[in-house]
Amino acid sequence: MGEDRGTVIPAKKSRLSGFSRRKFIAASGLGAAGILSAFYFGSITPSETSQSQSPAFEEVILNKFAKSIQVGGPGKDGIPPIDNPKYLAVGEANKILTDEDVVFGLEHGGVVRAYPQIVMVWHEIVNENINGERISITYCPLTGSAVGFKGLSKVNGEPLTFGTSGNLVNSNLLMYDRQSDSNWPQILGTAINGLNKGITLNHLPVVWTTWGLWKEVHPDTQVLSTDTGFVKIYGYDPYGSYTQDPANNYYYRNPAIYFPVLYSNDRFHRKKVVTGVMHKGSYLAIPKGEFSSIQVANATLGGDPIVAIYDGGLDTTRVFLRRAAGRELNFQISGTKVTDIETGSDWSLKGEALSGRLSGTKLTAVKSFDVMWFAWFAFFPSTLVYG
């Protein structure tokens, strides 16, 4: 495929309502069938979201997000971030995790770590120091998005660290930075108010996978410990679980959403997982389940050629610019290998040429992460959809 395979989807308006996350957590044993499943604040047109490189446009959109901030229930840092994380070896982690448990995997600066969902659901943010570099690993259970960030405050140039504001935008975690108290929706990764308004964080890829898959690929991984300094019921998820049992997945697979969103669309089940791709003010949603059988797709986004590659070993999709050595490449599956048509070089699932004329060449990663469809569309209603 040499061009975008997707469509710009028209949005539909729906009703406005609200729901306290504190009330939800308190009543987490109940089903959600009686709660309104879609909300609407006002129109964000596709043309507005497709011009994010325009400073005037950015101001308009950021202001719309800022005006749509909703109280989520717990107060500021009522969901407490972890600032001094401790880690376990694989053997110790096996005592608290099953192979089916969800983890968020990070490879950064030569360090490999896994962040169990059973811990992150109670904290949502881990402020890290890896080789002297400040980074933050974030997770929003309401939108099913795990993203890593790093960045500097424009106020004083210091590395940013984050807390949970207790509020939401588009049902998504609204972080605040401790340097200026500016607010940052996690999916957007840009400050929508405060002294850091308009600053976009650098993205660090975090892999949503299972403990069994991650430790198979990374047997020496470190694992975030349940020894956090807080008393939490680790192993119990107040939002349900990722099992197939309908009685125990009342949020993650139920179509109901509990907080207002700016834009909604019913092309997919609201909680369907897509790989959201962001590049130069353009957006693409790749349905995760369907793409596992496609494995490799060439496309363009934001005027640049990209390739999406499915990694079955971790059940994740990675996205790269498909340019190397000054030329545009097209990729295909050849047996069990990923090869480019132009040079016949073999490539790893991480975008590195393993053999052939381009051996040693690395593709540039494009920002992407798994997220629920309703949340991706709420932020980016001009999104293209692969398929």
Residue where a domain stops, chosen among 242, 263, 284: 263
**Which CATH number goes with the domain that contains 315?**
2.102.10.10
Count of domains forming the chain: 2
The pLDDT tens digits for 327-361 are 999 999 988 899 999 999 999 999 999 999 999 99
| Distance of alpha carbon 287 from alpha carbon 317, whole angstroms | 10
Half-sphere exposure of 23 (CA within 13 A, CB side): 10
| Whether 302 and 257 share a structural domain | no
Residue 326, number of CB atoms within 10 A of its CB: 5
Residue 226, number of CB atoms within 10 A of its CB: 18
| Whether 301 and 226 share a structural domain | no
Query: Backbone phi, then psi, for 66, in 5-degree steps?
Result: -60, -40
| Distance of alpha carbon 94 from alpha carbon 113, whole angstroms | 14
Look at residue 25 and tell me whether its pLDDT is greater than 50. no
Six token digits for residue 325: 């050595």
Of the candidates 257, 295, 212, which has an alpha carbon nearest to the alpha carbon of residue 373?
257
Q: Is residue 81 part of a domain?
A: yes
| Whether 254 and 296 share a structural domain | no
Global confidence as pTM: 0.86
Q: Is residue 2 part of a domain?
A: no
Which residues, 6+ apart, have CB-to-CB distance to 3 below 8 Å? 299, 300
Six token digits for residue 24: 């939800």
| Whether 249 and 305 share a structural domain | no
Half-sphere exposure of 343 (CA within 13 A, CB side): 19
The pLDDT tens digits for 134-185 are 999 999 999 999 999 999 999 999 999 999 999 999 999 999 999 999 999 9
Domain that holds residue 85: 13-263
| Whether 239 and 278 share a structural domain | no
pLDDT at 242: 77
| Whether 259 and 282 share a structural domain | no
pLDDT at 57: 53
Query: Backbone phi, then psi, for 214, in 5-degree steps?
Result: -65, -45
Look at residue 53 and tell me whether its pLDDT is greater than 90. no
| Whether 24 and 115 share a structural domain | yes
| Whether 74 and 198 share a structural domain | yes
| Whether 282 and 227 share a structural domain | no
